[in-house]
């Protein structure tokens, strides 16, 4: 039975982007269900698929997995022939730690620089906390690339779950244009050149609905 991924608006749903990018990047077949967020009835629609009431959710037969990081782990277990996480033990430990930090941290960046794919590109007056988040992310990316990135342009050489987890940050950096290093920009360009990225962005561009609360 094919996998089904339930997601929110591609223009806004950073959490949905992560497992979607992962599945696309690794050529794993799935069907998608897109539920527009923050409109009348959206919560009820989501509850038809997952008891969490939130997107994303991955449905595999009678199994439902919610939360982006849990979905990444499930996919890694279901498709062990794909290097969803780096094969090297030390690289894998770092990739998981970085992904968990992405999952639980960077509230200042999230709040000040919400994911709005179609927002005109340009910087904000970044807060001190947002700048600290940006610096921490750049440092992690640089460390991963220095230690394990020799085999390709991504955090651990080849594309992995860690890159999928940070894809929405790449989007935020590209849209809000903070000052970043040349190495950070090169990594961003590599992610943005992937077919998975381009397909997500094309889907976002085709959406007609807007969420007013995020259009500021």
pLDDT tens readout for residues 25-59: 999 999 999 999 988 899 999 999 999 999 999 99
Give the whole-angstrom CA distance, residue 63 versus residue 100.
Answer: 23
Q: Work out the angle between the directed axes of helices 14-25 and 195-206 (0-180°, nearest 10).
A: 140
pLDDT tens readout for residues 158-189: 999 999 999 999 999 999 999 999 999 999 99
Q: What letter would DSSP give residue 113?
A: S
Predicted structure pTM score: 0.96
Task: Sketch out the chain's domains with CATH numbers.
Answer: 3-82 (3.40.30.10), 89-198 (1.20.1050.10)
Could you give the percent of the chain with pLDDT greater than 70? 99
Give the whole-angstrom CA distance, residue 159 versus residue 85.
Answer: 9
**What are 44's two structure tokens?**
């009820």
**What are 194's two structure tokens?**
């992937």
């Amino acid at each position: 039975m094919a996998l089904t991924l339930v997601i929110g608006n591609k223009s806004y749903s950073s959490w949905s982007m992560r497992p979607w990018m992962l599945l696309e990047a690794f050529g794993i077949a799935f069907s998608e269900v897109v539920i527009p967020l923050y409109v009348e009835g959206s919560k009820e629609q989501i509850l038809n698929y997952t008891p969490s009431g939130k997107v994303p959710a991955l449905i595999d037969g009678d199994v439902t997995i919610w939360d982006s990081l849990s979905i990444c782990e499930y996919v890694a277990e279901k498709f062990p022939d794909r290097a969803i996480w780096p094969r090297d033990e030390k690289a894998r430990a770092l990739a998981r730690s970085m992904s968990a930090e992405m999952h639980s941290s960077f509230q200042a960046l999230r709040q000040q620089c919400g994911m709005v794919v179609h927002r005109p590109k340009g910087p904000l007056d970044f807060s001190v906390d947002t700048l600290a988040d940006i610096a921490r992310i750049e440092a992690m990316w640089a460390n991963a690339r220095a230690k394990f990135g020799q085999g390709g342009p991504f955090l651990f050489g080849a594309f992995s779950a860690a890159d999928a987890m940070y894809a929405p940050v790449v989007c935020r950096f590209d849209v809000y244009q903070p000052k970043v290093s040349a190495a950070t920009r090169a990594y961003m360009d590599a992610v943005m050149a992937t077919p998975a990225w381009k397909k997500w962005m094309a889907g976002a561009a085709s959406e007609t609905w807007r969420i007013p609360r995020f259009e500021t």
